[in-house]
Amino acid sequence: MTWSNVIYGDLVSPTQAERRESTIAKLLDSGIDTIAKLGYSRASVQKIARNAGLSYGALFRHFPTVGDFMAEVARETLRRQLATVRAQFDRAGDRLTEFEDVMVVMRSLKEEPINAVLYELMVAARTDAQLRETLQVAVAEYGAQMVELARSVPGTDRLSEAELITLVFMITDMFDGEALVKTLRPYPELVAGRDELLAKLLRGYRSDA
């Protein structure tokens, strides 16, 4: 090792690494924001780079293809979504004593802006093999974390493992569907009635119900 390595090497590398991380973070932030505002089909890499305050070429210096970039956007979207879920559950704390309380939290999560990005990516994944493969892995990891969170809800200890997993995905799929159609079917009375009926069915698992 030369003195130039000692003096400059450790200084240059971290700076380059920090610049790289900063650029990637800006691109991912912009990718998520642009998809949320314009939709997946209109979120071109040119618009994403421009909204990030970067050049078009900057994106391809860090991601070989558009598909690689969108795959990373998908992973980051799910990472942020899970962080939001954890924060909401932590904030609710001891208030999660009834299934209705859980559904209130889940509905608020599904109304988060980042959730719209996830829906856009899911629809795009139907015809995009690379994105589909990435999302399948990320969604499986996300689902496993959701099941773990569900274990903290009172009453779920009376469910078998298979029942708990089924319940988690039944509720999340229901709210996903609701979020997609609510602008076309804005009937709050249906939502209230569905929540009441589902809560009644779920309370049947509780010996103290």
Q: The CATH number of the domain where 25 resides is what?
A: 1.10.10.60
Looking at the structure, tell me whether residues 50 and 97 fall in a common domain. Answer: no
Coil, helix or strand at residue 96: coil
- Report in angstroms the alpha-carbon separations of 23 from 36, 55, 63: 20, 11, 11
> 99 and 203 in contact (C-beta within 8 Å)?
yes
Query: What is the predicted pLDDT for the residue at 205?
Result: 61
Q: Let me know whether 52 and 147 are in one domain.
A: no
Q: Is 206 strand, coil or helix?
A: coil
Pair (16, 89) in one structural domain: no
Cα separation of 167 and 157, whole Å? 12
Q: How many distinct structural domains can be found in the chain?
A: 2
Over residues 76-104, the pLDDT tens digits come to 998 898 888 888 878 876 666 666 777 77
Residues 71 and 57 in one domain: no
Indicate the SS3 state at residue 155. coil
Cβ 35 vs Cβ 120: under 8 Å: yes
Last residue of a domain, one of 38, 62, 86: 62
Range of the domain at 93: 65-209
Do 108 and 156 share a domain, yes or no? yes
pLDDT at 15: 85
Residue 188, classed as helix, strand or coil, is: helix
Distance CA 43, CA 30 (A): 10
- Give the pLDDT confidence of 26-64 residue by residue, as tens digits: 999 999 999 999 999 999 999 999 999 999 888 999 999
* Same domain assignment for residues 117 and 53: no
Name the more confident of 93 and 106.
106
Q: How much is the average pLDDT of 168-184?
A: 85
- pLDDT tens digit sequence for 128-159: 888 898 889 888 888 898 888 888 777 778 88
Residues 107 and 175 in one domain: yes
CA distance 173 to 178: 9
Q: Are residues 134 and 202 in the same domain?
A: yes
Looking at residue 17, its pLDDT comes to 82
- The yes-or-no verdict on residue 3 having pLDDT over 50 is no
Q: What is the per-residue pLDDT across 184-203, written as a single tens digit (0 to 9) for each? A: 887 778 877 887 888 787 77
Residue 67 has pLDDT above 90, yes or no: no
- How far is the CA of 87 from the CAs of 80, 106, 112, 162, in angstroms? 10, 12, 13, 26
Q: 122 burial class (0-12, 13-18, 19+ CB within 10 angstroms)?
A: middle
